Structure 1
Amino acid sequence: MRHPMSGRLVRQLLLAAALSVPAAALLAPVAEAQTRPVPPAAAPAAKPSAAQLQLARDLVTANGESRAFDGVIPNIVDGAALSFLQTNPDLAKQLREVAVLVRPEFEKRQAEVIDILANSYATRFTEAELKEAIAFYRSSTGIKLVQDRPVIVQEAVQGIQAWGAQINAQAMERVRAEMKKRGVDL
C-alpha cells in the first residue's frame, strides 16, 4: 500500500539533504556521477569522544543542517495517520485531529536527527577539524553560505531540471533519427 504522504516526505527529505551539502556538489557533472563507480566509504574512526560529539552538534547548528530537517517529524506523523485513509476514508477529519494531537510527542525527538548528523561528523573529523569547520561557518563567509544556500540550491535544481528536459528532448530527437535510419518511425 502506497503511503499517501510518501512523495511529500521524500521530497522534503531530499530537500533537507540538498540543503545540508555544499551547493557545488549539486553542480558536479551528472553524467560523470552516473558512470563513475562509487568509492567505498572511509571506515569510521574509533568511537568519537564526548568533545567531538559536542563539536559536531555545534557544527550541525552552525552550518544550518539542523534546520534543514525542521518539519520532517510533522510530515512523518501526518503521513502515518493519513495512511489509514485508504481503508477508512470516513475517518479523515478524526485522523487529522489525532495527528495534531500526537505530533508533540514525536517532535520532542527532533534532537535525535541532530545526534545522527553529529555522530556522522564526529566519527570522520578530529576535534581540530571540527573546530576549523565551525570557525568557517561562524565567519561572515560561512554565515552568508548558510543564509544563501536555500536559494542557491533552488536555483541549481531549477537549472538542472531545465537542462535535463533539454537533454531529454535532444536525445529523443536523436533516437528518432537513428530509428528512422532503420526504417522505424517513432
Structure 2
Amino acid sequence: MKSLSGILSVACLALGLALTALPAVAQQPKPASPAAIAAAKEILAMKHADAMYANAVPNLVHKTKDQLLQSNLNYQKDLNEVEVIVAQKLAGRQKEIGDGMAAVYAQAFTEQELKDLVTFYRSALGQKLLTAEPVAIQQSMAFMNQWAQGFAEMINGEFRAEMRKRGKEI
C-alpha cells in the first residue's frame, strides 16, 4: 500500500507538471496526430498512469451519494442501492481521463519527441527510471518532510527566543 501511495504521488506530480504546459498549449491549439496520441498513450501506460485514476468513477459516485445523503438521510437505503447502479452504469468512463492526459502530452511534446521518449523508456536506462524514479521521489518527499519538520521546530525555537528577549513566554 505504501508503494502504491508513492506511485500515486509520483503520478500526481507528473500530471501536475504536464498540466502546467496546458495554458501555453491552450493559446496555440493544433490537433495532435494519431501517432502522437498513440505514443503519448504508450508512455502513460509504461508509467502506469492509470493507477492514478483507476478508481475515479466509483470514488466520485460514492462522494456524490454521500453528499446527497447529508440532506436526504431518510433515503439512505435507496441511495446505497442507487450508488451500485450508477457506478455500474458509468464504469469505464475513467478511460476519458487517460485519453485527456494523452492529449495533454501530445500537445506538450512533438510527435518525434514522444516517439523518442517511447524509445528511451524501452531502453535499459528508461526501464530503470520507470522502476527507480517513484522510489527516489518517495524518498525525496520523505526527506523534505523530515527536513521541514526539523526546520519548523528550529523556527519555533527562534520565535520563542525572540519573545523571551521581550519578556514574553510563549
Percent of aligned pairs with the same residue? 30
Instruction: List gaps (5 residues or longer) in structure 1.
Output: 1-11, 26-38
1:180 & 1:64 partners in 2: Cα distance? 53
Which secondary structure state, in structure 1, belongs to the residue aligned with residue 108 of structure 2?
coil
Aligned residues: 159
Q: What is the aligned-residue RMSD (CA, Å)?
A: 3.0
1:134 aligns with 2:111: no
Query: Higher helix fraction: Structure 1 or Structure 2?
Result: 2
Go from structure 1 to structure 2 and tell me whether the alpha carbon gap of 1:112 and 1:157 turns closer, same or farther (over 3 Å shift).
Answer: same
Q: Which residue of 2 aligns with 1:68?
A: 52
Please show how residues 11-160 of structure 1 align to structure 2 within 5 Å.
Answer: 16=8, 18-19=10-11, 21=13, 43-44=24-25, 46-160=30-144
Go from structure 1 to structure 2 and tell me whether the alpha carbon gap of 1:142 and 1:87 turns closer, same or farther (over 3 Å shift).
Answer: same
TM-score (norm 2): 0.75
TM-score (norm 1): 0.70
Please show how residues 159-178 of structure 1 align to structure 2 within 5 Å.
Answer: 159-178=143-162
2:144 & 2:130 partners in 1: Cα distance? 21
- 1:31-88, Cα deviation, whole Å (9 max, x unpaired): xxxxxxxx99773253222221222112211222233221122211111111123223
1:57 & 1:40 partners in 2: Cα distance? 17
